[in-house]
Amino acid sequence: MNDKFDKLTKGLAQSVTRRLMTIRPCARRICAGSVLAAVACGSVAAQQFSPWSAPVNLGPSVNTASSEFHPAISADGLTLFFSADYPGGFSENDLWVRQRSNRNADWGPAQNLGPNFNTAGFEFGPELSPDGHWLFFASDGLAGGNNSRIYAAFRNDTSDSFGSGQPFDLGKGVNSLHNNGDPTLFIDPQTGVTTLYFARLTKPGQGDWDIYVSTPGADGMFGDAVLVPELSSPCRDTHPTVRRDGLEIIFSSNGPARLVELTSGFPRGQRLMTNGPRRRIWDPESIPRPRTEHRISRTMGRR
């Protein structure tokens, strides 16, 4: 077994076990106080949530004249990883981090994650594991090729944004000869099994990005990724985000077949979609529908 992958898969499973142990056994629902840290405990029944509020701009402490996108926030709400094209980086697009002292404070200055993560290529799509020890992201520069690949890096101290070890490639099951990006994790709170959803561009010039899924095999390495047909279309389907109980996934899509279902208030372009909720984790994904309360206001990065 590859030691790096063994550490990755076992560590992710243990993070959910530790989280479940902190939740009262009598609470048979998603019972963490924050959506960012919520996990299912006991029951896998679909949860009911209120409508989304109107988006609020994070203001000049985060948003600048440059492009900021692909945010990933820590469970305590104090660290924000993201991709941006700020001047002074290693290339046209790097991974950056901002921190704040408490949830009511302004965000501090952006800091570049440095040469372990950023290259002369294009880095994007950071994703934190639920326990904050692992940072997943995509890069087309670390391997020195033309295709973007997905990587993971571990840090012992979750408060140290610069304490991660050298990122490692997630292997051929995830990183084929195609462009891969937008990693997002789901860790089954019942079994501890890790599932990686991500976007892949298989035929540049002939198709567009689709959503794929991979799970670790007996050797701890991620197996061959397979297309999720319920979440993919002939057009662009990207940026999947799985709810912590595994019963709903939100993603971005500009699929024309779904435009007719949108309200007239939406501009044409990519929309945030939701596929669920499904009744049980092992059920197939349901038919996607638009998030009518949300829109994406501009093209993000290259995509």
Question: Which CATH number characterizes residue 106's domain?
Answer: 2.120.10
Is 195 domain-assigned? yes
Is 168 domain-assigned? yes
Is 53 domain-assigned? no
Whether 20 shows a pLDDT value over 60: the answer reads no
| 16 — pLDDT class (breaks 50, 70, 90) | low
Round to whole Å and give the CA distance between 164 and 26. 37
Q: Are 272 and 296 in contact (CB under 8 A)?
A: yes
**Beta bridge partner(s), residue 237:** 253
Q: Are 164 and 154 in contact (CB under 8 A)?
A: yes
Is the model more confident about 90 or about 191?
A: 90
- Total domains in the fold of the chain: 1
Whether 271 shows a pLDDT value over 50: the answer reads no
Is 47 domain-assigned? no
What one-letter code names the amino acid at 162? F
Whether 279 shows a pLDDT value over 50: the answer reads no
Candidate ranges 41-50, 199-208, 233-242; pick with highest mean pLDDT: 233-242
- Counting other chains too, the contacts that 207-210 makes at CB distance below 8 Å and 24 or more residues apart are 207/234, 208/234, 208/235, 208/236, 208/237, 209/179, 209/236, 209/237, 209/238, 209/303, 210/237
Is 37 domain-assigned? yes
Is 254 domain-assigned? no
Whether 113 shows a pLDDT value over 90: the answer reads yes
Structure confidence by residue, pLDDT tens digits, 94-109: 999 999 999 999 999 9
| 79 — pLDDT class (breaks 50, 70, 90) | very high
Question: pLDDT above 90 covers what percent of the chain?
Answer: 50
The answer to which of 13-17, 111-115, 174-178 has the lowest mean pLDDT is 13-17
Is 98 domain-assigned? yes
Structural domain boundaries, residue 134: 3-42+68-244
Q: Are 255 and 272 in contact (CB under 8 A)?
A: no
The answer to which of 92-96, 244-248, 283-287 has the lowest mean pLDDT is 283-287
pLDDT attached to residue 176: 83
pLDDT attached to residue 159: 92
Is 50 domain-assigned? no
Rounded to the nearest integer, the mean pLDDT of the chain is: 77
Please, what sign has the CA dihedral across residues 228, 231, 170, 130?
negative
